[in-house]
């Protein structure tokens, strides 16, 4: 793969020090810190014939092992053997201190500073593209974001609405997005029904804040803002699309499926043929690890020039440590399945445009017939 400089637009390096003490629930949080217990429970499940439960526990053990790394540097260096040496990685922090699951051992400023030190390391400076995150209800959240950009050299913003806020939160709309537009900084936001959820937040509300449509007020107000809705809608919606399809007699079926909604939003045009939402992007992080089920559909979607120009390669490491396939296996399989041209588009060309390193515009060729 040396002829393609891959940019993985979605990885994480936060560790157990950045996860609340009582997450996901006080009754079971202690298990995260005792991997041998998880392994024992998996063995018991296999002995009892509960293969699916055993598999879930094995996934949890692999995930926790990555999170128990002593530093963000250790997490980052564990991904490097899976990629060519010239690969770059957009590293996305998480601010979970205020989501109601207890305290964290290292606050967000410390997490940002540690990531900045990794990005300054001469061995990794060309590989690490650090993003900052904010929890908009945190006092001084916008100031911390500006510090990360102006003092630490961070290059974008990570949002996670399921933690407890809408993407059109007043702090974001009045202070953060205008700053991103002024500085040309891209945004990536979690867009999946799965993931971390703030304590006491009903799933329906967390979904409403995370849905593609929740970003419409942002896209209307800031058409020059480059927003990536991560995970291409998420596994649940991909599975529903593949296994159940869309009811042709239900005009709202597509809007309810986040994968379909993202595709339709990206492909939408105004009267003169230009994109309706020119700043909208998506990435394939985590979703593509269900390789055999979903990559054929992804390849079909990428036949539409509008979609092809707005999809980014990402993996969601180290969340992917829960899966059987390694980062290396998925990356190589994806290139083989898509072919060099499509893989280069999503892994090299599109990331450079999204990051503001290269110019990119609307496709000039006609799109094929819409894929429902």
Tell me the β-bridge partners of 227: 187, 280
Helix H or strand E encompassing 256: helix 253-256
Backbone phi, psi, residue 61, to 5°? -65, -45
CA 311 – CA 302 distance, rounded (Å): 8
Which pLDDT score, from 0 to 100, does residue 292 have? 78
Which pLDDT score, from 0 to 100, does residue 367 have? 44
Which pLDDT score, from 0 to 100, does residue 59 have? 45
CA 158 – CA 13 distance, rounded (Å): 13
Which pLDDT score, from 0 to 100, does residue 369 have? 44
User: Strands (DSSP E) along the chain, which ranges?
Assistant: 7-11, 88-91, 128-130, 132-133, 157-159, 187-189, 227-229, 280-283, 311-312
CA 276 – CA 273 distance, rounded (Å): 9
pLDDT > 70: percent of the chain: 81
Rounded to an integer, what is the distance from CA 53 to the centroid of its chain?
26
Cis bond before residue 212 (omega within 30° of 0): no
pTM of the model: 0.87
What confidence category does residue 324 fall into, taking pLDDT thresholds of 50, 70 and 90? low
CA 234 – CA 246 distance, rounded (Å): 17
Which pLDDT score, from 0 to 100, does residue 52 have? 47
Reply yes or no on whether the pLDDT at 1 is more than 50.
no
CB 92 within 8 A of CB 188: yes
CATH of domain 72-354: 3.20.20.140
Q: Which residues, other chains included, contact 274 with Cβ-Cβ below 8 Å and sequence gap of 6+?
A: 362
Task: Residue 290: name the closest of 244, 314, 335, 323 by CA.
Answer: 323
CB 119 within 8 A of CB 128: yes
Pairing of strands 157-159, 187-189: parallel
Distances (CA, A) of 133 to 107, 163, 362: 12, 12, 29
What mean pLDDT do residues 314-321 have?
A: 70
pLDDT in tens, 14-61: 888 878 877 655 555 555 556 666 566 656 766 677 654 544 444 455
pLDDT in tens, 48-72: 776 545 444 444 555 555 556 789 9
């Amino acid at each position: 793969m040396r002829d393609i400089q891959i940019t993985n637009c979605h990885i994480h390096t936060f560790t157990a020090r950045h996860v609340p003490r009582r997450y996901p629930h006080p009754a079971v949080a202690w298990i995260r810190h005792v991997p041998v217990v998880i392994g024992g429970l998996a063995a018991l499940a296999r002995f009892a014939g509960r293969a699916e439960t055993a598999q879930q526990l094995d996934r949890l053990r692999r995930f926790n092992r990555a999170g128990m790394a002593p530093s963000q540097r250790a997490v980052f260096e564990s991904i490097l053997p899976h990629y060519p040496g010239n690969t770059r990685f957009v590293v996305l922090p998480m601010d979970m201190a205020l989501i109601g699951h207890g305290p964290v051992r290292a606050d967000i400023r410390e997490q940002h500073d540690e990531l900045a030190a990794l990005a300054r390391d001469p061995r990794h400076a060309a590989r690490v593209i650090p993003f900052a995150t904010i929890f908009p209800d945190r006092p001084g959240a916008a100031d911390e974001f500006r510090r990360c950009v102006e003092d630490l050299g961070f290059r974008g913003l990570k949002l996670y609405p399921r933690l407890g806020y809408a993407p059109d939160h007043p702090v974001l709309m009045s202070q953060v997005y205008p700053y991103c537009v002024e500085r040309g900084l891209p945004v990536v936001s979690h867009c999946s029904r799965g993931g971390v959820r703030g304590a006491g937040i009903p799933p329906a509300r967390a979904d409403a804040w995370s849905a593609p449509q929740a970003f419409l007020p942002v896209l209307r107000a800031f058409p020059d803002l480059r927003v990536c809705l991560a995970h291409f809608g998420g596994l649940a919606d991909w599975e529903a699309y593949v296994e159940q399809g869309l009811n042709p007699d239900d005009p709202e079926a597509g809007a309810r499926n986040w994968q379909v909604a993202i595709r339709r939003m990206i492909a939408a045009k105004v009267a003169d043929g230009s994109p309706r939402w020119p700043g909208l992007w998506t990435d394939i992080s985590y979703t593509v690890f269900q390789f055999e089920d979903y990559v054929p559909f992804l390849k079909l979607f990428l036949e539409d020039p509008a979609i092809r120009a707005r999809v980014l390669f990402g993996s969601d490491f180290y969340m992917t440590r829960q899966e059987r396939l390694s980062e290396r296996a998925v990356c190589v399989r994806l290139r083989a399945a898509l072919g060099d041209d499509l893989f280069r588009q999503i892994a090299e060309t599109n990331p450079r445009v999204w990051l503001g390193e290269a110019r990119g515009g609307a496709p000039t060729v006609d799109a094929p017939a819409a894929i429902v």
